[in-house]
Structure 1
Amino acid sequence: MSTPASSSPADIPIPEPGTFTPHTYEGGCHCGRVKFSVVAPPPDEIVVTGCNCSFCSARGGRMIYMKPESLTFTKGSFDDLTKYLWNSKTGWHSFCPVCGIAVGGEYQGIYSINMRCFEGAGIEVEKLKLHWIDGKNLIPRVDGA
């Protein structure tokens, strides 16, 4: 199920704690260097974000965005991952330096986690509601990269 492309990356859905029935999902990178739990809406209410910018297209993630209080690392942290700053360098993406899995990132105090990193949650990522960002046309390239 897909929603129309956003007119702005600022339209990304961010579940506000206290406005949904909380479900806890557990996940991590492939090798287990980092593990985390996320408090998010139930599967039928989760909205993941996809983007067609050059970076997101290459990695194929489906991101769920959240306030920091919704994410708890149970092993390691973002500091144990490699951070990649691209374009405006105002946000970062992280990946495991051991197994290479794109885990998540941060932009202006909002975290993202790749829903493909949730293990044993019984969630079929491809069946979740999709909020599409036309990053190829909406996110201006500021550094020529």
Structure 2
Amino acid sequence: MTDKPMSNRPMQKFHGSCHCGAVQFEIETDFPELTQCDCSICRRKNALMVKVHESKFRLLAGEDSLTEYQFHTRTAHHFFCKVCGIYPFHRKRIAPDHFGVNVFCLENFDPTGIAVRQAVGAAMT
């Protein structure tokens, strides 16, 4: 038995980017759930995220346009575009082989109907 939400949606590829288009990426997911975290940085950036295994994430362009921010335990790696400032994704603290991808950076994606889990990041030590 698994504690992971199951999705009845098919695996799909989505193209994503920052606002200015310098950072381009592609993900493949079935969107089992979306997460909204209450840690200090996530509250401020107000992103809605999907967890994607690193094998299902591909950076297409803009590696040199990314800047990284770390805080607290310096385990998670939050990436922002140096040009427009948008947060497209981060490498997760608890699951470092996964990315948290900001679904608002995905082209033609509508989050309607996908369960949103409230992640308790503020209480992590």
- How far is the alpha carbon of 1:20 from its aligned partner? 6.5
CA shift digits 1:66-110 (9 cap, x unpaired): 111101122223x53110011100111111111010111113221
Query: Structure 1 CA distance, aligned partners of 2:115 and 2:49?
Result: 11
**Number of paired residues?**
119
Structure 2 CA distance for partners of 1:75 and 1:64, relative to 1, 3 Å: same
Query: Structure 2 CA distance, aligned partners of 1:92 and 1:64?
Result: 16
Structure 2 CA distance for partners of 1:122 and 1:67, relative to 1, 3 Å: closer
- Is 1:81–2:66 an aligned residue pair? yes
The gaps in structure 2 that reach 5 residues or longer are none
Query: Structure 2 CA distance, aligned partners of 1:122 and 1:135?
Result: 25
The answer to which structure has the higher helix fraction is 1
The gaps in structure 1 that reach 5 residues or longer are 1-10, 141-145
Query: Relative contact order: is structure 1 or structure 2 higher (C-alpha 8 Å, sep ≥ 6)?
Result: 1
2:34 aligns with: 48
Aligned residue for 1:55, secondary structure, equals helix
1:93 aligns with: 78
- How far is the alpha carbon of 1:127 from its aligned partner? 4.5
Q: CA RMSD in A?
A: 2.3
Percent identity over the alignment is 26
- How far is the alpha carbon of 1:63 from its aligned partner? 1.0
